[in-house]
Amino acid sequence: MRNLKVLLFDIIVLFVSCSALAVTDAKLKQVAMIDLPGDPGFSHVAVANGQVVITRPENNTVEIFSPVKRRVVARISQIDNPRGIAVNDAGGRVYIAMAGSNRIAVVRTSDWQVEKLISVLHTPEKLLWVAETKSLYVSSVRDRVLSVVDPEGGVEKATVEVNALPQDMIYDPRRHQLLVSLQDLNQVVALDFANTSRPNKIVETFKLAASEPTGIVLDEGRRRLYVAVRYAVLVLNADNGSELARIGAPGGTDTLVLDSADNLLYAAAGDGIVLAIDLARNKIDHELPTDVKGFSIAYDPSHKMLFFPGGREGRSKLVILRPVGIAAEPNAPQNAAGPATAPQTAMKK
């Protein structure tokens, strides 16, 4: 009887282990490639209120794509050179950087109308909304500065000269710091805007043994910082910046998105390759060519869907991907076809 119990225990352990391995075996599958109106030329993409928000500098538009209807359902026109996107889901707002006019558009996600415009001193590129500080952080590659904006009051509160090319930003709630990758200095720096002894200054610098850092994401629970660099993704200790691992990646790997629940990191490269990185083993689990040229990617963790806009043969495309073997939540969007047309919303000057 004892041997039978041991055998049953071993079978259960083997079953659980195999199940765990199946979860991490996240092969990517392209489930759709949607034609979008207009010429190719995309900047950033994000998911807000269940919809995919895409900025298109070449067309001076922001397009809202429905994963359920599989078409563009709204379009905001007259957005002057739209770039970065920040999402405030709790507040029902999306913020869009308008690089052509040094302004930030505040858009309601209930009806996709521009609520107001906020003027900033420097040309905005990327945006980050932080609920803890109720602030919007803005990078300016052209002017080599960072700024802090109060979107509720509609004012720019502070500016920090970094004298470098700021790329991606992420907020560390445990340390109450903003982490920023500086591409030309091969660094990730920390800023503490609440530090009264060193207000609006760089308080810590992580020097990287790699070049051209761009995308960064933070796994807060595991205290790991992931940084896209030239031909690799670095795994850093989020508290002291020490390098823990280095994952080889195609050149041009830029945007990173994290699914901490499934221990996966997704990365997009400019040549159209999307990577699924298994963080338990710190290795690429799957590398999928998409046949489109793009560099920005967004992830809907509830439906386990990736959205990758790009161009192919002179036409605009939106590629939808899904990891195979990882279950989505109930009521995930199903395959639905429809014309890629949408009502126009002209931004009020």
pLDDT tens for residues 278-336?
A: 999 999 999 999 989 888 999 999 999 999 999 988 899 999 999 987 666 555 554 44
Count of C-beta atoms within a 10 Å radius of residue 273: 18
Structure-block tokens of residue 284: 């690429």
Radius of gyration of the chain from its Cα atoms, rounded to whole angstroms? 21
Return d(Cα 252, Cα 268) in angstroms, integer: 8
The single-letter DSSP state of residue 198 is S
Structure-token match 């001076």, residue found: 60
Q: In what order do the strands lie in the sheet with 232-237?
A: 216-219, 224-229, 232-237, 243-248
Nearest one of 78, 84, 116, 25 to 255, comparing CA atoms: 84
Residue from 163, 170, 211, 167 nearest 190 by CA: 170
204 pLDDT band (50/70/90 cuts)? very high
- Domains, the chain, with CATH or none: 28-330+340-346 (2.130.10.10)
CB atoms within 10 A of CB 185: 16
Lowest mean pLDDT among 13-22, 76-85, 104-113, 245-254: 13-22
Average pLDDT rounded to a whole number, residues 55-65: 94
Distance CA 85, CA 43 (A): 9
pLDDT in tens, 263-273: 999 999 878 89
Residue 79, class by beta-carbon neighbours within 10 Å (0-12 exposed, 13-18 middle, 19+ buried)? buried
* Backbone phi and psi for residue 66, each to the nearest 5 degrees, phi listed first: -95, 120
- Token couple for 123: 């040309």
Whether 175 contacts 195, CB under 8 Å: no
Over the range 47-58, which residues count as b (16 or more CB within 10 Å of their CB) and which as e? bbeebbbbbbbe
Contact 140, 165 (CB under 8 A): no
pLDDT for 346 equals 57
